[in-house]
């Protein structure tokens, strides 16, 4: 009986306090052909990395794959020709085991849904997974974009950044936000052929 209690205690502790890493990869507006930018999510644990990247069907559909090394994830979209380069910003998030499993389950469910500009674009896909955590990813009116997602993440999670629960693996959030054009005006300018004055 004593052994059973110890096993239950260890399992409970792992579920409550065990840490796993979630990565968010962000491509800026100027890095993507559409000009809208792109974002994706990866879940890393002792078994490897489960990676999701949500594109429209015309651009390649949903990537749902399992990889062994985290570096494989950082260059996958460019290696298979969906992006011209690796992401300009990569963030890592510390989550407990319960949040981690909920996030993975949400991503797995959303990966079966069809991409939609206004309801399940790449930024929405990532934001849905974060709804199962203590991180606040904000609310975007009408359409989510990677820029707005990162902007809201920074504004609503200052303490997590200060306590290093959110870390920048590549790039810097402040530099990304300062240099990144707002996606919707940028795409509109590209669409109508306007040039910045």
- Give CA angle at 73 (67, 76), nearest 5°: 105
Architecture field, domain 19-192: Alpha-Beta Complex (3.90)
Q: What is the pLDDT of residues 128-167, one digit of tens each?
A: 899 889 999 887 665 678 888 898 899 999 999 999 999 9
User: How much is the pLDDT for 165?
Assistant: 92
In whole angstroms, give the CA distance from residue 125 to residue 103: 11
Confidence band, pLDDT 50/70/90 cuts, at residue 83: confident
Which pLDDT belongs to residue 149? Answer: 87
30 half-sphere exposure, CB direction, 13 A CA radius: 7
- Is it the case that residue 13 has pLDDT exceeding 50? no
Q: What is the pTM of this model?
A: 0.79
Indicate if the pLDDT at residue 195 is higher than 70. Answer: no
Specify the higher pLDDT residue, 15 or 106: 106
Q: What is the DSSP string of 97-112?
A: HHHHHHHHHHHHHHTT
User: How confident is the model at residue 2, as a pLDDT?
Assistant: 58
Determine the angle formed by the axes of helices 97-110 and 2-17, rounding to 10 degrees. Answer: 60
Average pLDDT over residues 6-21: 55
**pLDDT at residue 197 greater than cutoff 50:** no
Mean pLDDT to the nearest integer, 91-100: 93
Cβ–Cβ contacts within 10 Å for residue 196, how many?
7
Of 25 and 10, the structure prediction assigns the larger pLDDT to 25
- When pLDDT is cut at 50, 70 and 90, the band that residue 15 belongs to is very low
- Which residue is associated with the tokens 């959030």? 173
Q: State residue 142's pLDDT score.
A: 57
| pLDDT tops 80 at residue 39 | yes
What crossing angle do the helices spanning 122-130 and 97-110 adopt, rounded to 10°? 150
Do residues 188 and 34 make contact, with C-beta atoms less than 8 angstroms apart? no
Q: Measure the CA dihedral 153/176/158/164, to 10°.
A: 100
| Each residue's pLDDT tens digit, 61-73 | 788 888 888 888 8
């Amino acid at each position: 009986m004593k052994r059973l209690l110890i096993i239950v205690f260890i399992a409970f502790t792992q579920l409550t306090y065990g840490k796993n890493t979630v990565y968010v990869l962000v491509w800026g507006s100027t890095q993507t052909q559409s000009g809208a930018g792109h974002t994706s999510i990866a879940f890393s644990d002792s078994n490897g990395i489960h990676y999701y990247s949500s594109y429209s069907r015309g651009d390649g559909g949903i990537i749902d794959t399992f990889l062994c090394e985290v570096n494989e994830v950082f260059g996958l979209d460019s290696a298979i020709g969906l992006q011209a380069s690796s992401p300009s910003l990569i963030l890592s998030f510390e989550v407990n085991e319960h949040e981690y499993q909920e996030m993975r389950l949400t991503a797995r469910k959303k990966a079966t849904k069809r991409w939609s500009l206004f309801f399940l674009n790449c930024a929405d896909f990532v934001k849905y997974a974060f709804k199962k955590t203590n991180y606040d990813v904000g609310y975007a009116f009408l359409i989510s974009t990677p820029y707005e997602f990162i902007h809201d993440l920074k504004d609503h999670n200052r303490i997590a950044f200060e306590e290093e629960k959110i870390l920048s693996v590549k790039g810097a959030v402040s530099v990304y936000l300062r240099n990144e054009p707002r996606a919707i005006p940028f795409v509109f300018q590209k669409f109508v052929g306007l040039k910045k004055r």
